[in-house]
């Protein structure tokens, strides 16, 4: 099943194998900017900082309606690999980590932080966070920004594990492969400077990185180190 979302304010389900591909259409109150799915949970990020969370088996009404924790437009969205929550990012260089469980205890764990920022000649520069991707095994996540950098984060420890060397243009998209041993990084001009910037922009590129220890959570690394020490 393929799920699409559009500025026409609909979420549509498609079955490419069927003679009539479109299976159902569901209206939402705002333009759709991003969507992601984990298990049976679909998160839809819309204009006006609005979020709907659906059980795809019952699309007639959202199970939860939320307002973004970030003040500016949602640029990226990704669900956690363990199905516990999701992360969102904004044009203002911030990422928010949220949890599906509506209980007060779970909601106390949500937080937001600044990233993809740099001080140059005493001037603070802020870039949009264009993409997020959770590692399918370790549940850490990658963020990519218009500053040309990709970082790996441990959202439970609230720390950055690694920032890769800067690319020569903005990074609009990143994605892990199915076992997380590779990270695809798309690099291209993202039109922050309009047509003038496009005149000198380089051709788009896609880089494939092999991942290592930097995508693992700290507790996994400590556990593996303990096993290696005992075996030695």
pLDDT (tens digit, 9 = 90+) per residue, 194-226? 888 888 888 999 999 999 999 998 665 544 444
Q: Is residue 150 part of a domain?
A: yes
Secondary structure in 3-state letters for the chain: CEEEECCCCEEEEECCCCCCCEEEEEECCCCEEEEEEECCEEEEEEHHHEEEEEECCECCCCCEEEECCCCCCEEEEEECCCCCEEEEEECCCEEEEEECCCCHHHHCCCEEEECCEEEECCEEEECCEEEEEECCCCCCEEEEECCCCEEEEECCCCEEEEECCCCCCCCCEEEECCCCCEEEEEECCCCCCHHHHHCCCCCCEEEEEECCHHHCCHHHHHHHHHHHHHHC
Residues 29-55 have a mean pLDDT of 97
Of 14-18, 128-132, 184-188, give the lowest mean pLDDT range. Answer: 14-18
Q: Whole domain around residue 222: which residue ranges?
A: 68-231
Q: pLDDT digit string (tens) for 52-110? A: 999 999 999 999 999 999 999 999 999 999 999 999 999 999 999 999 999 999 999 99
pLDDT reported for residue 219: 65
pLDDT at 227 over 80: no
Domain membership flag for residue 113: yes
Number of domains in the chain: 1
pLDDT attached to residue 123: 86
pLDDT surpassing 70 at residue 147: yes
> What is the per-residue pLDDT for 228?
47
Q: Is residue 111 part of a domain?
A: yes
Let me know: does 203 contact 185? Beta carbons within 8 Å.
Answer: no
pLDDT in tens, 108-141: 999 999 999 888 888 888 999 999 999 999 999 9
Q: Output the domain CATH number for residue 213.
A: 2.130.10.10
Of all residues in the chain, the percent with pLDDT exceeding 70 is: 94
- 191 is a domain residue: yes
Q: Residue 171 to residues 30, 127, 184, 191, 232: CA-CA distances in angstroms?
A: 27, 11, 11, 12, 42
Q: Does 43 fall in a domain?
A: no
Alpha carbon 219 to chain centroid distance?
A: 23
* In a domain? residue 156: yes
pLDDT at 169 over 60: yes
- 158 lies in a domain? yes
At 220 the pLDDT is: 56
What pLDDT score was predicted for residue 224? 47
Whether 67 contacts 82, CB under 8 Å: no
Position 92 in a domain: yes
């Amino acid at each position: 099943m393929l799920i699409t979302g559009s500025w026409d304010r609909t979420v549509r389900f498609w079955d490419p194998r069927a003679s009539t591909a479109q299976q159902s259409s569901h209206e939402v109150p705002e333009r759709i900017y991003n969507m992601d799915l984990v298990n049976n949970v679909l998160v839809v990020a819309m204009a006006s900082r609005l979020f709907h969370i659906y059980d795809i088996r019952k699309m007639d009404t959202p199970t939860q309606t939320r307002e973004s924790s970030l003040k500016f437009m949602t640029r990226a969205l990704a669900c956690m690999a363990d199905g516990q929550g999701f992360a969102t990012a904004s044009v203002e260089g911030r990422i928010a980590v949220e949890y599906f469980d509506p209980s007060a205890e779970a909601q106390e764990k949500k937080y937001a932080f600044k990233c993809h920022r740099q001080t140059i000649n005493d001037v603070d520069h802020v870039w949009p966070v264009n993409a997020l991707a959770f590692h399918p095994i370790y549940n850490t996540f990658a963020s990519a920004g218009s500053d040309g950098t990709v970082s790996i984060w441990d959202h439970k420890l609230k720390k950055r594990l690694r920032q890769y060397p800067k690319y020569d243009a903005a990074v609009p998209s990143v994605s892990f492969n199915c076992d997380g041993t590779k990270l695809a990084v798309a690099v291209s001009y993202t039109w922050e400077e309009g047509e003038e910037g496009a005149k000198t922009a380089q051709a788009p590129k896609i880089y494939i990185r092999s991942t290592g220890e930097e995508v693992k959570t700290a507790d996994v690394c400590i556990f593996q180190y303990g096993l290696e020490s005992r075996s030695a």
